[in-house]
Amino acid sequence: MENNTQKTTQTGKTGGSKALVSGRTAGGAREGDRSFIPRRGSSQRGGPAGGQKGGGNRPPFRGGARKGGPGGAEGRSRRGSGGPRRERVRPEFEQRVVNIRRVTRVVAGGRRFNFSVVMILGDRKGTVGVGIGKAGDTALAIEKATKDAKKNMIKVPLTKNMSIPHQVRAKYSSSLVEISPAPGGGLVAGSSVRNVLELAGVTDVMSKIHSRSRNRLNNARVAIKALKQLKRAVAVALPAAAVDPTVGEDVVAQPAFE
């Protein structure tokens, strides 16, 4: 009987060790091994249900007070010590897009689409120009129109009241426009003629389009053509022999245009 009991005890110990080994093999690696991966819902550090900081898949905290953050010391030093801001450099000419349209060209392989842009440039001091640009991209078409407008710049002779010295009338294609000085009346104009006069710096004029043309490019070009006809007013003194018989004084400072 004693021999049988010893055999049974040895067999139980051997079976328990085998079960322990098999349990490790079936359950995978234990904590401490390099291949150990905690399950979801476990109380291990970093798990979703764990009580440790930074659990789950949440990203680390990136507050502004950290070094190098927007509110950190490095960020403040990058912006400066709160000195005066730099003034924005204004462009030489103010630009205004009058019209953008898509044009189509039929070729042997099919249709090709481009963009046509009408641009007006001016400095509001008497310099103004109109340009047109075509390209497959809108930005490139605007760039071409800007270069074309700079090539076609004109100088407008303005008076002290930012008006024009005399009345002008011009015709371009089917567009017909008339521009007259109106001191104290403000700028009265329509269509793209108003854009041309604004960027030229004219403030007290009255314009009238005597045609039914709605083409903004032609209206802008006829305004440029009319402004080219302006002549600067100068004072011319007549010779001493020119005497007004009714008054008996010399007539001087007669306006003329050059």
Domain at 122, CATH number: 3.30.160.20
Q: Which residues contact 68 (CB under 8 A, 6 or more apart)?
A: 74, 75
Strand bridging mode 168-172 / 187-188: unpaired
Q: What is the mean pLDDT of residues 61-77?
A: 53
Instruction: Answer yes or no: pTM beyond 0.85.
Output: no
pLDDT of residue 85: 74
Q: Is residue 148 part of a domain?
A: yes
Q: Is residue 116 part of a domain?
A: yes
Domain of residue 135 covers 94-154
pLDDT of residue 21: 44
Q: Is residue 108 part of a domain?
A: yes
Q: Is residue 191 part of a domain?
A: no
Q: Is the pLDDT of residue 17 over 70?
A: no
User: What is the SS3 assignment for 180?
Assistant: strand
Q: pLDDT category, 206, cuts 50, 70, 90?
A: very high
Q: Is the pLDDT of residue 250 over 70?
A: no
Q: Is residue 254 part of a domain?
A: no
Q: How many percent of the chain have pLDDT more than 90?
A: 47
How many structural domains does the chain have? 1
Q: Is residue 5 part of a domain?
A: no
In tens, the pLDDT along 77-128 reads 555 556 677 777 778 889 999 999 999 999 998 999 999 999 999 999 999 9
pLDDT of residue 22: 46
Q: Is residue 120 part of a domain?
A: yes
In tens, the pLDDT along 25-44 reads 444 555 555 555 656 655 55
Q: Is residue 147 part of a domain?
A: yes
Which of 221, 166, 169, 168 minimizes the C-alpha distance to 192? 221
